[in-house]
Amino acid sequence: MELESPKFLRAKPSRKKRIKWMPYLFIAPSVLLIVSFLFYPMLNVFYYSLQNYNPSKPFYNGFAGFDNFVNIFTADPLFWESLQISLKWVILEVVLQLLFGLLIALILNRAFRFRSLIRTAAIIPWAISGVLTATMWSMLYSEHSGLLNDILTRLHLIQSPIAWLGDTEWVFFSIVTAELWRGIPFFTITMLAALQTIPQELYESCTVDGGGRWKGFLHITLPFLKNSIILSTLLRAVWEFNNVDMIFAMTAGGPANHTMTMTMYVANQAIVAQNFGYGSALTVVAFLILMLFAVGYLKISGFGKEDK
């Protein structure tokens, strides 16, 4: 027994060293997947942005340097047009989704009959895929058999059916409405979760001090929702800037490029035209725009900082 004790003591440190590596072994598969499916494609995009790469024109393939970027900013008017449409799309979607989402969250935060059922119904659009939503709204907007034209005609609000997705006057606001219907539940869920963290005693104290609902909203609700609003609007802005499924399925950027957002332009260049080098350069530009926007937005808004 006396001889076994020293061996046991000597084996103990080596066992501790093996245990230290176990956490790394457990996270290794996740790290490999992230590197394989996230960082490698990102590096590939940066690589091809410096190349002329089009499988249909192999003789022109090769290193291009910064020529793709020079063409984007100096010789491509559609880039500036698509960027302008993207900015208008993001601003309208984020602002309207936030306003309607916050309003619905405030209503659902109150106690009333069938609240759980209505809460479930309010988030259903968020659970529907973008392509399915686009198909549904395309049928609704149909010039010949769409429900919208039928209702407006019966109410004598229009004299003849409107091609909502084919008329340059109406197409942009038509897809904005469709995406608005799908995006409102995101803010509803986020704002409702934040509202439920606000102590009710604060509202009671506000009422005792003579403050009404409006003052309670301005001085209690909004300050508590500040960080949630900043983060959710940032995430939604990035999401809407990169949104391509709804627009691609409903209009594919048309008619006459009136719904050609920047991501749709990238999709047309890289997927349709197979101009992967130029499409990659556009993607890099979009990435830099989003990165600068995110950093500047968080800095200006003071996210995570307590008001003094």
Tell me the average confidence (pLDDT) per consecutive run of 10 residues in the chain, 308 residues long. 51 53 83 85 89 83 88 92 94 94 90 84 86 90 88 89 89 93 92 88 79 80 88 92 89 89 90 88 93 90 67
Residue 71 and residue 30 share a domain: no
User: What are the tokens at 88?
Assistant: 């208008």
Exposure letters 160-196 (e unless 16+ CB within 10 A, then b)? ebbbbbeeeeebbebbbebbbbbbbbbbbbbbbebbe
Euclidean distance between CA atoms 220 and 212, whole angstroms? 11
The CATH number that applies at residue 254 is: 1.10.3720.10
Residue at 120 is within a domain: yes
Residue 253: per-residue pLDDT: 87
78 shares its domain with 11? no
Which tokens sit at 243?
A: 């949104």
Establish if 207 belongs to a structural domain.
yes
- Show Cβ contacts of residue 79 under 8 Å, excluding neighbours closer than 6 positions: 72, 73, 262, 265, 282
Beta bridge partners of 52: 62
Would 91 be classed as within a structural domain? yes
pLDDT confidence of residue 69: 93
Where helices occur in the chain by DSSP H, the ranges are: 4-34, 40-48, 67-74, 77-108, 115-122, 124-127, 130-141, 147-154, 171-195, 200-208, 213-216, 222-241, 245-250, 262-267, 276-301
123 shares its domain with 9? no
Is the domain of 165 the same as that of 272?
yes
The whole-model pTM stands at 0.84
HSE toward the beta carbon, residue 5, CA cutoff 13 A: 2
- 258 DSSP 8-state letter: T
Residues 19 and 128 in one domain: no
In a domain, 28, yes or no: yes
Token pair 């190349």 is found at 51
Q: Which domain holds residue 18?
A: 4-39
In this predicted structure, what is the pLDDT of residue 10? 53
Both 117 and 26 in a single domain?
A: no
- The number of distinct structural domains making up the chain is 2
Burial class (CB in 10 A: 0-12, 13-18, 19+), 35: exposed
Pair (249, 288) in one structural domain: yes
* Domain-located, residue 307: no
Say whether both 111 and 175 belong to one domain: yes
Residues 69 and 104 in one domain: yes
pLDDT reported for residue 91: 94
Query: Which pLDDT score is estimated for 6?
Result: 54
Residue 56 lies in a domain: no
- One domain, residues 76 and 11: no
pLDDT value for 60: 80
**51 falls within a domain:** no
Same structural domain for residues 34 and 83?
Answer: no
Contacting residues for 73 by C-beta, under 8 A, at least 6 apart: 79
Residues 27 and 68 in one domain: no
For residue 179, tell me if it sits in a domain. Answer: yes
pLDDT for res 1: 46
Q: Which pLDDT value is given to residue 306?
A: 63
The token duo for 56 is 């249909």
**How far, in Å, are 210, 248, 251, 304, 306 from residue 79 at the CA level?**
55, 17, 18, 35, 40
pLDDT given at position 290: 92
Element (H or E) spanning 51, and its range?
strand 51-52
Coil, strand or helix at 52: strand
Per the DSSP assignment, residues forming a β-bridge with 51 are 63
What pLDDT shows up at residue 190? 92
